[in-house]
């Protein structure tokens, strides 16, 4: 299995940028591709998209409820709509529109939550989205995806464009390296990607939290002689139960890592499946605790709560009683 | 094409059926269904280009009912238009029925699932925008209640509609001036609705929402102004057609008992005889 490609650490771009580039590629071939924005084309990296395809970008202004309702109407008339807005506003302000106009009415809008998690750092709680997996998981007919790197982003957008179902894709804005240079490690919505394999512990992470998990796995190997499985569980719903079962059966402990509240996200989704299926591996959920976060940049906040190489190593050793 | 008298008779028939199925379901939004039924009658029997046999047609007109709670009016009209057998409505609100108390796409002929208020206008704006982008000739109609106007999403959508010059969009407000708590003026006054929408860039026309001829005339003159979205404010009476229900808040979702049902049908039959 591949490892972090160091050169990409320098050269990787923000997943959002890949989103925008991929969307341009799709829009070139398909006039039904639309980006719908809430004064968010800049933060969504969609300025070049708007310049190249002025007829395929719809500006709504700062009105997220209307953004989602209009997107649902467009989708019902056959448009392939990417509704782009900061994740914090999109999934809270417009939650009823997501629940009713997108999910319940089965209008296949692609909801793009930008600058997700704690990407906005010191801008604070109003701008953080640590609730989005939780609220969307409880909504029927909603796929939830957090691509970890540029490759996963590109594939996720292409697959979402052809998917005739409601879907939420969540992106941060930090440049991300490729998780692996193994080209045979493909991407399929709904199927987790095993990045490294080992029998001691399984670290199941999603979105931008996969990278520190992978870095921790390398250190666990080099410094402690421990072999970790690292899974990029990009699709949080529907969860890849077969893969979860497989890693639970083949490892001694399970650790989940996400840039989200510890309540209601990837960790609890895994926990409920494991418990209901009689797995009793030592298990821990890493995420943001139920508090207003410490002030800082995204990296500082993630480090503070242990969503970091050091934090994941410490949690892994603790789970294994080492 | 139905004559004016035939349309009048249809409204009478629909009122009787609304009451029948609300009594059968032991639930329903009686007052509002009776206030908007003439609007639905004119839409489905005079205006809309929709065909139950080809409902998926890309160029069909769209009707999105924002005031979803008055679903009984919609279901009765859809059944009459042949979207499904009327006998299906005997299952209204019953265990495992698709015919729930709000519009759902599980029922043939329903465009969008509604029920939460303040959603229909944004959905309609999106659908009308798609028609403009694709140069399609269809029009989008949406029915709002006056009680749902305080929902802020309506005003967001109203802005977008005029921003994009959606003259293929027609909103109709069923202005029956009552909501569950009391008069809309007392709960949250939205008057003057016309001036508000006009200032948002809409062209507005007032009609008597129980006058088939005024409704027809208003729909005939769409767009009310080229380049602008149209709003028809239909002045209606909640519970219209059944005198003991008219303008009574308790009939917002009151269900008639056997005696009241009989009395209501008797009155409607008398009115029918007068039309004939």
List the structure tokens of B167: 């003259």
Contact (Cβ atoms closer than 8 angstroms) between residue B178 and residue B238:
yes
Distance from CA of B225 to the nearest CA of A (A): 22
Q: Within 13 Å and on the Cβ side, how many CA atoms surround A145?
A: 28
C-alpha pair distances (Å), B264 with each of B55, B101, B109, B256 = 34, 22, 29, 9
Q: Residue B1's pLDDT is what?
A: 86
Contact residues, chain B, for A66 at CB < 8 Å: 122, 125, 153, 156-157, 159-160
Q: Residue A8's pLDDT is what?
A: 41
Give the separation between CA B200 and CA A107, rounded to whole angstroms: 28
A6-170 CATH pick, 3.30.465.10, 1.10.490.10, 3.40.630.10, 3.40.50.970: 3.40.50.970
* pLDDT, tens digit, 9 for 90 and up, residues B197-254: 999 999 999 999 999 999 999 999 999 999 999 999 999 999 999 999 999 999 999 9
CB contact under 8 A, A100 and B115: yes
Name the phi and psi angles at A306, rounded to 5. Answer: 80, 10
Indicate the residue of A70, A104, A106 with minimum beta-carbon distance to B126: A70
CATH 3.40.50.970 residue ranges for chain A: 6-170
Spell out the alpha helix ranges (H) of B43-183: 71-80, 120-133, 152-163
Contact residues, chain A, for B125 at CB < 8 Å: 66, 69-70, 73
Largest CA distance in chain A: 59
CB pairs under 8 A between A and B: 97
Contact (Cβ atoms closer than 8 angstroms) between residue A8 and residue A211:
no
Specify whether the backbone of A263 is left (phi greater than 0), alpha (psi in -120 to 50) or beta.
beta
What is chain A's alpha carbon radius of gyration, rounded to the nearest angstrom?
A: 19
Chosen from A70, A75, A102 to mutate, greatest number of chain B CBs within 10 A: A70
Instruction: Count how many domains chain B has.
Output: 1
CB contact under 8 A, B122 and A101: yes
What CATH number did the domain enclosing B75 receive?
Answer: 3.40.50.970
CB contact under 8 A, A69 and B122: yes
Residues forming a β-bridge with B175: B235
Specify whether the backbone of B191 is left (phi greater than 0), alpha (psi in -120 to 50) or beta.
beta
Distance from CA of B151 to the nearest CA of A (A): 11
Share of chain B above pLDDT 70, in %: 100
* pLDDT, tens digit, 9 for 90 and up, residues A38-54: 999 999 999 999 999 99
Chosen from B62, B102, B122 to mutate, greatest number of chain A CBs within 10 A: B122
Fold held by A193-319: Rossmann fold (3.40.50)
Per-residue pLDDT tens listing for chain A (322 residues): 344 444 344 468 999 999 999 999 999 999 999 999 999 999 999 999 999 999 999 999 999 999 999 999 999 999 999 999 999 999 999 999 999 999 999 999 999 999 999 999 999 999 999 999 999 999 999 999 999 999 999 999 999 999 999 999 999 999 999 999 999 999 999 999 999 999 999 999 999 999 999 999 999 999 999 999 999 999 999 999 999 999 999 999 999 999 999 999 999 999 999 999 999 999 999 999 999 999 999 999 999 999 999 999 999 999 999 9
Q: Domain range holding B128?
A: 4-275
CATH 3.40.50.920 residue ranges for chain A: 193-319
A42 CB-near residues (< 8 Å, 6+ apart): none
Which stretches in chain B have pLDDT values below 50?
none
Q: Residue A12's pLDDT is what?
A: 86
Q: Residue A83's pLDDT is what?
A: 98
Contact (Cβ atoms closer than 8 angstroms) between residue B229 and residue B235:
no
Contact (Cβ atoms closer than 8 angstroms) between residue B202 and residue B166:
no
Indicate the residue of A55, A66, A75 with minimum beta-carbon distance to B122: A66
Q: What is the DSSP string of A36-58?
A: EESS-TTTTT-HHHHHH-GGGEE
Distance from CA of A266 to the nearest CA of B (A): 29
Contact (Cβ atoms closer than 8 angstroms) between residue A178 and residue A151:
yes
């Amino acid at each position: 299995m591949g490892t972090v490609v160091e050169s990409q650490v320098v050269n990787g771009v923000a997943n959002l940028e890949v989103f925008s580039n991929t969307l341009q590629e799709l829009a070139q071939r398909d006039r039904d591709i639309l980006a719908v924005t809430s004064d968010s084309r800049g933060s969504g990296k969609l300025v070049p998209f708007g310049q190249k395809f002025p007829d395929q970008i719809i500006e709504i202004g700062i009105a997220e409820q209307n953004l989602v309702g209009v997107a649902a109407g467009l989708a019902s008339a056959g448009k392939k709509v990417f509704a782009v807005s900061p994740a914090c506003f999109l999934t809270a302000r417009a939650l009823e529109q997501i629940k009713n106009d997108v999910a319940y009415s089965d209008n296949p809008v692609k909801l793009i939550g930008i600058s997700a998690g704690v990407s906005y750092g010191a801008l604070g709680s109003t701008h953080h989205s640590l609730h989005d997996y939780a609220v969307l998981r409880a909504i029927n007919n909603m796929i939830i995806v957090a691509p970890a790197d540029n490759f996963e982003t590109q594939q996720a957008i292409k697959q979402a464009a052809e998917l005739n179902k409601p879907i939420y894709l969540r992106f941060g804005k930090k440049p991300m390296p490729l998780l692996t240079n193994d080209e045979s490690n493909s991407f399929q919505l709904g199927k987790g990607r095993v990045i490294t394999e080992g029998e001691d512990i399984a670290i199941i992470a999603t979105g931008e939290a996969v990278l520190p998990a992978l870095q921790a796995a390398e250190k666990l190997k080099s410094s402690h002689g421990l072999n970790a499985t690292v899974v990029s569980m990009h699709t949080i719903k529907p969860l890849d139960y077969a893969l979860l079962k497989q890693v639970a059966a083949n490892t001694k402990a399970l650790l989940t890592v996400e840039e989200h509240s510890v309540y209601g996200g990837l960790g609890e989704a895994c926990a409920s499946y494991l418990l209901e299926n009689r797995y009793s591996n030592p298990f821990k959920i890493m995420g943001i605790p139920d508090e207003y976060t410490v002030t800082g940049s995204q990296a500082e906040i993630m480090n503070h709560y242990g969503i970091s190489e050091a934090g994941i190593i410490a949690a892994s050793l603790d789970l294994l009683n080492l | 094409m139905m004559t004016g008298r035939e349309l009048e008779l249809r409204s009478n028939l629909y009122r009787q059926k609304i009451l029948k199925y609300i009594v059968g379901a032991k639930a329903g939004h009686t007052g509002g269904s009776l206030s908007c039924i003439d609007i639905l009658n004119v839409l489905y029997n005079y205006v809309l280009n929709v065909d139950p046999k080809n409902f998926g047609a890309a160029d069909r007109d769209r009707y999105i009912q924002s005031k979803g709670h008055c679903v009984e009016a919609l279901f009765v009209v859809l059944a009459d238009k042949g979207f499904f057998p009327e006998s299906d409505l005997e299952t209204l609100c019953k265990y495992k029925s698709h015919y729930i108390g709000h519009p759902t796409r599980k029922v043939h002929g329903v465009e969008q699932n509604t029920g939460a208020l303040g959603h229909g206008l944004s959905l309609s704006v999106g659908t009308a925008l798609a028609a403009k982008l694709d140069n399609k000739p269809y029009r989008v109609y949406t029915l709002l209640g006056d009680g749902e106007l305080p929902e802020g999403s309506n005003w967001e959508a109203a802005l977008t509609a005029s921003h994009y010059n959606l003259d293929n969009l027609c909103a109709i407000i069923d202005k029956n001036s009552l909501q569950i708590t009391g008069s809309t003026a007392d709960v949250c006054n939205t008057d003057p609705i016309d001036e508000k929408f006009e200032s948002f860039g809409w062209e507005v026309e007032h009609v008597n929402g129980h006058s088939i001829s005024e409704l027809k005339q208003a729909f005939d003159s769409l767009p009310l102004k080229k380049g602008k979205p149209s709003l028809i404010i239909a002045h209606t009476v909640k519970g219209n057609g059944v005198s003991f229900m008219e303008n009574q808040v308790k009939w917002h979702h009151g269900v008639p008992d056997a005696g009241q049902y009989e009395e209501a049908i008797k009155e409607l039959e008398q009115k029918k005889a007068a039309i004939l």
